Structure 1
Amino acid sequence: MKEQKKYKIFGLLIYYILRVLSKTYKVEKISAEGVMDENAVYVSWHNKIVPITVIMDKLKKKAALASASKDGELISVPLEKFGYKVVRGSSGRDAVKGLLKMVKFLKDGYIVGTPVDGPKGPVYKVKPGMLFLAQRSGKKLVPIGAASKNKWVFKKTWDKIELPKPFSKIVCILGKPISIAPDEDLNVVALRVEKVLLELDRQAEIKINKK
């Protein structure tokens, strides 16, 4: 119980740091559809979770999937403070239960999502959870790429998570929504989504480094 409380305190600290920093960022959002609030499944890489949380900040109906582990507390606490409905259970035996709860949120008009290579990697390898969610719900999958002009990179973390520095410019690119047919092989879809996400990140890096 003491350890859980410790994680919650750290989670709150992360939230307040992000809240202060987010006020200084200059954000550019580029969308293939021209909208951000489509009722769909949004996916990105785990190391881009900070800039993407920032661009989602003003959206009202949003839900996210977080690990049921104690480490998930570090993510779920700030997400809840940013206005997300957080479902715990992104791995192990709680995975199906968590995904079914996310289906309900989708049916209620929420946008939902989580990093597709989380919670522990391997980095840049798409896991099937969010793909299954889009397939099961009949909703589209919206890939998001992101880049920050100036950032700290935490190299000791498994994903080398990025934290934009104060007053940094952030570029987020929403790719073309992907429809997944009921009979499609999710392993094949995963490879396609990996290529799309890496390309969107590349485009965001090019965009942000233009003079």
Structure 2
Amino acid sequence: MKIPIDPTRLSPFLATLYRLWIATIRFEVHGDLQCILAKREQRHPLVLALWHGELFSLTGFGHTSISSDVVTFVSQSKDGEVIAQVLEKLGHATVRGSSTRGGVRALLQAIRVMVRENRMAVFTVDGPRGPRHKAKGGVIYLAQKAGAAIIPLRAYPVRKKVFHRSWDRFALPLPFTRCHIYVGEPMAVTTEKLTEETLAREQERLEKAMLALGPEKDQQ
């Protein structure tokens, strides 16, 4: 007899496991982390931009080295419900939606949370389904409407398991590894109306900034 188990009931265990896993990783920062902390202290709106495949490492880095006082986008799928519960147990606020479903509503809700609760936003700019390392327009819209600077972040675990069959080549850092974190310069988005042409230009600018971060051999 097959006994169904609601996966959302596992979220407390998964959150604890994640904390323990991240606690074993030694993060080494390259770039001006103090810029983020100073802007955070001065209540400047910020959007932390990352690639989907580096989400595990960068969520852990943010949790241990920056703040969990953030708002994060999570898809409206069943898997997304589990992820949302884990993130909320880490201190995140979550909004449900993506570029494929409920995106505009989620963006507007995130802006309200950023303003009302003074939270940074975390945005996987090529998610939820890719193409890999191609920035989408939502992050530009969010930053402009919230008056926020975008901070590009990259993660390079020394030892990792890469899931090559996933569209994002998801990188799972192994326990007790070192992980190099690269912090980019704050990017102020245009104040121009976001026409198709303007949006494409800003997306390309962000992509270039993110791909320029990290050791040359790993840029791709």
Greater mean deviation of Cα atoms: 43-52 or 190-199: 190-199
- SS of the residue corresponding to residue 212 of structure 2 reads helix
Within 5 Å, give how 1:164-203 maps onto structure 2: 164-183=173-192, 185-202=198-215
Residue 57 of structure 2 aligns with which residue? Answer: 51
TM-score, length of structure 1 as denominator length: 0.86
Please state how far the C-alpha of 1:98 moved relative to its aligned partner.
Answer: 0.6
- SS of the residue corresponding to residue 56 of structure 1 reads helix
Contact preservation (8 Å) 1:31, 1:173 = yes
Greater mean deviation of Cα atoms: 45-54 or 191-200: 191-200
Please state how far the C-alpha of 1:188 moved relative to its aligned partner.
Answer: 0.7
The total of aligned residue pairs comes to 204
CA deviation string 1:63-119 (max 9, x = no partner): 111111223224323211221001111234511111011111222321111211111
Which one has the largest radius of gyration?
2
CA distance, structure 1, for counterparts of residue 58 and residue 206 of structure 2: 17
Contact preservation (8 Å) 2:12, 2:86 = yes
CA distance, structure 2, for counterparts of residue 93 and residue 150 of structure 1: 35
Residue 36 of structure 1 aligns with which residue? Answer: 36
- SS of the residue corresponding to residue 190 of structure 1 reads helix
Please state how far the C-alpha of 1:49 moved relative to its aligned partner.
Answer: 0.4
CA distance, structure 2, for counterparts of residue 132 and residue 3 of structure 1: 41
CA change 1:94–1:115 in 2 (3 A) is same
The answer to whether 1:63 aligns with 2:63 is no
CA distance, structure 2, for counterparts of residue 74 and residue 199 of structure 1: 33
Contact preservation (8 Å) 2:29, 2:182 = yes
Structure 1 gap segments, 5+ residues each: 207-211
Instruction: Tell me the percent identity.
Output: 29
Cα RMSD of the aligned pairs, angstroms, is: 2.4
TM-score, length of structure 2 as denominator length: 0.83
CA distance, structure 2, for counterparts of residue 24 and residue 63 of structure 1: 25
- SS of the residue corresponding to residue 145 of structure 1 reads strand
Within 5 Å, give how 1:82-161 maps onto structure 2: 82-108=90-116, 109-161=118-170
CA change 1:106–1:182 in 2 (3 A) is same
User: 1:90 corresponds to which letter in structure 2?
Assistant: S
CA change 1:68–1:192 in 2 (3 A) is same
User: 1:55 corresponds to which letter in structure 2?
Assistant: F
